[in-house]
C-alpha cells in the first residue's frame, strides 16, 4: 500500500513538473516568463488599441491613412524594416512591429508595448541630427519589446493575473492606466543596458552607424535639455556611461560607426513640420 502511495506522489510531482516545464519553457532569449509569447502579442494588441485611441482623442495620433503624412510613414517603415532585417531580432516574425508617430513636438520620447508596437513622438524625430541616431533609438525600443523588457516590467508592477485579465478583455481601467503609463515606464539599468547593446547588434546588420544611439546621448549631453526628459535619461542619470558602453559594444562587434549619410531623414522632418 505504501508503495502505491509513493507512486501516486511520484505521478503527481511528475505532472506538476511537466506543467511547470511547459508553462515556464525558455523563450528565444533564454528567459523563463510565465507570460507566453501569444499573451505578449494579445496584451500588446489591447494596449496599442488603447494608446491609439488616447492620442487620437487628443488629435495627436498621426494616422497611417492620412495622405499628407504618407511619405513620413514610408521613411519610418523603411528604417524599421532595415533594423528588423538585421537577422538579430528574435521575434521578428511573431511580433507586429507597427510603428506610429505621435504629433507632440515638446516630447523627446519613444516607447514600445509588448508584442512590438512602437510609438515615436515627433519631438524626438525633430531633435535628432541624422537617420543613424534615429535608427539607434528605434533599435533600443525594438530591443525593449524583443527582449520582453516591457512584459517583465508590467508583470512586476501589476502582477500576472491583472495582465491575463486584460488579455481576455477585462479591467478596462487598468488597461488605460498601463497604456497611458508606458511613456514613463521605468526599466532597470540591466534592461536599459541590454536595449543599448542590442541597438548596436541590430544596427550592425544594416548600413547605419551601429552606435547611432550614442549620438542621441551625446546630443542631450552637449545641449542642456529642458524640453521634457526622454525615457532614456529618466532611468540613466549619466548618459556619459551609456555613450561609452555603446561605443565599446560597437568596437566589440567590429561594426561601422560612420553615419550612412542618408538624406531621407531631413525629408521626413520636413513632412512632420507641415
Ligand atoms: Zn529604454
15 with 47, same domain: the answer is no
Q: How many domains does the chain have?
A: 2
Q: At a CB cut-off of 8 Å and minimum separation 6, what does 166 contact?
A: 43, 46, 47, 174, 175, 178
Domain match, 82 and 130 both? yes
Spacing, Cα 17 to ligand 1 middle (Å)? 35
* Nearest of 207, 66, 212 to residue 143 by alpha carbon: 212
- For residues 5 and 107, state if they share a domain: no
Q: Does the pLDDT of residue 242 top 70, yes or no? A: yes
Residues 135 and 221 in one domain: yes
111 and 211, same domain (yes or no): yes
What pLDDT shows up at residue 171? 93
Find the 139 Cα to ligand 1 centroid distance in Å.
10
- Domain encompassing residue 140: 33-272
Question: How confident is the model over 72-105, as pLDDT tens digits?
Answer: 999 999 999 999 999 999 999 999 999 999 999 9
Q: State whether 183 and 261 are in the same domain.
A: yes
CA separation for the pair 133, 273 (Å, rounded): 19
Q: What is the mean pLDDT of the chain?
A: 88
Distance 12 CA to ligand 1 centre (A): 43
Q: 24 and 38, same structural domain?
A: no
Q: What is the pLDDT of residue 227?
A: 47
70-84 and 131-146 helices, crossing angle to 10°: 60
CA of 209 from ligand 1 middle (Å) equals 19
Say if residue 8 is in the same domain as residue 49.
no
Together in a domain, 55 and 127: yes
Residue 2 has pLDDT above 60, yes or no: no
CA of 125 to the centre of ligand 1 (A): 16
- Please check whether residues 108 and 44 belong to one and the same domain: yes
126 lies in the same domain as 176: yes
- pLDDT tens for 154-206 read 999 999 999 999 999 999 999 999 999 998 888 888 999 999 999 999 999 89
Same domain, 24 and 109: no
Residue 21: its pLDDT value, please? Answer: 52
DSSP 172-239: HHHHHHHHHHGGGPPPPHHHHHHHHHHHHHHHTTSSS-TTHHHHHHHHHHHTT--S---HHHHH-S-H
pLDDT value of residue 229: 55
CA-closest candidate to residue 152, choices 255, 212, 143, 273: 143
Measured in angstroms, how far is the CA atom of residue 146 from the centroid of ligand 1? 12
Amino acid at each position: 500500500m505504501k508503495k502505491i502511495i509513493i507512486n501516486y506522489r511520484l505521478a503527481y510531482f511528475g505532472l506538476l513538473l511537466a506543467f511547470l516545464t511547459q508553462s515556464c519553457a525558455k523563450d528565444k532569449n533564454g528567459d523563463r516568463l510565465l507570460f507566453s509569447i501569444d499573451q505578449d502579442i494579445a496584451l500588446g494588441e489591447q494596449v496599442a488599441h488603447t494608446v491609439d485611441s488616447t492620442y487620437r482623442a487628443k488629435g495627436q495620433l498621426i494616422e497611417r491613412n492620412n495622405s499628407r503624412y504618407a511619405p513620413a510613414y514610408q521613411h519610418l517603415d523603411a528604417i524599421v524594416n532595415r533594423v528588423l532585417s538585421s537577422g538579430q531580432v528574435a521575434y521578428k516574425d511573431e511580433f507586429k512591429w507597427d510603428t506610429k508617430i505621435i504629433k507632440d513636438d515638446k516630447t523627446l520620447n519613444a516607447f514600445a508595448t509588448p508584442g512590438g508596437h512602437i510609438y515615436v513622438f515627433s519631438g524626438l524625430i525633430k531633435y535628432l541630427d541624422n537617420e543613424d541616431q534615429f535608427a539607434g533609438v528605434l533599435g533600443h525600443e525594438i530591443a525593449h519589446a524583443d527582449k520582453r523588457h516591457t512584459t517583465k516590467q508590467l508583470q512586476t508592477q501589476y502582477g500576472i493575473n491583472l495582465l491575463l485579465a486584460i488579455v481576455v478583455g477585462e479591467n478596462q481601467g487598468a488597461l488605460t492606466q498601463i497604456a497611458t503609463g508606458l511613456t514613463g515606464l521605468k526599466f532597470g539599468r540591466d534592461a536599459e543596458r541590454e536595449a543599448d547593446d542590442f541597438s548596436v547588434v541590430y544596427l550592425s546588420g544594416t548600413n547605419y552607424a551601429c552606435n547611432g544611439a550614442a549620438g542621441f546621448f551625446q546630443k542631450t549631453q552637449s545641449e542642456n535639455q529642458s524640453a521634457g526628459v526622454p525615457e532614456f535619461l529618466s532611468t540613466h542619470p549619466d548618459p556619459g556611461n551609456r555613450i561609452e558602453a555603446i561605443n565599446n559594444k560597437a568596437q566589440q562587434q567590429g561594426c561601422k560607426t560612420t553615419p550612412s549619410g542618408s538624406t531621407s531623414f531631413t525629408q521626413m522632418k520636413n513632412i512632420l513640420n507641415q
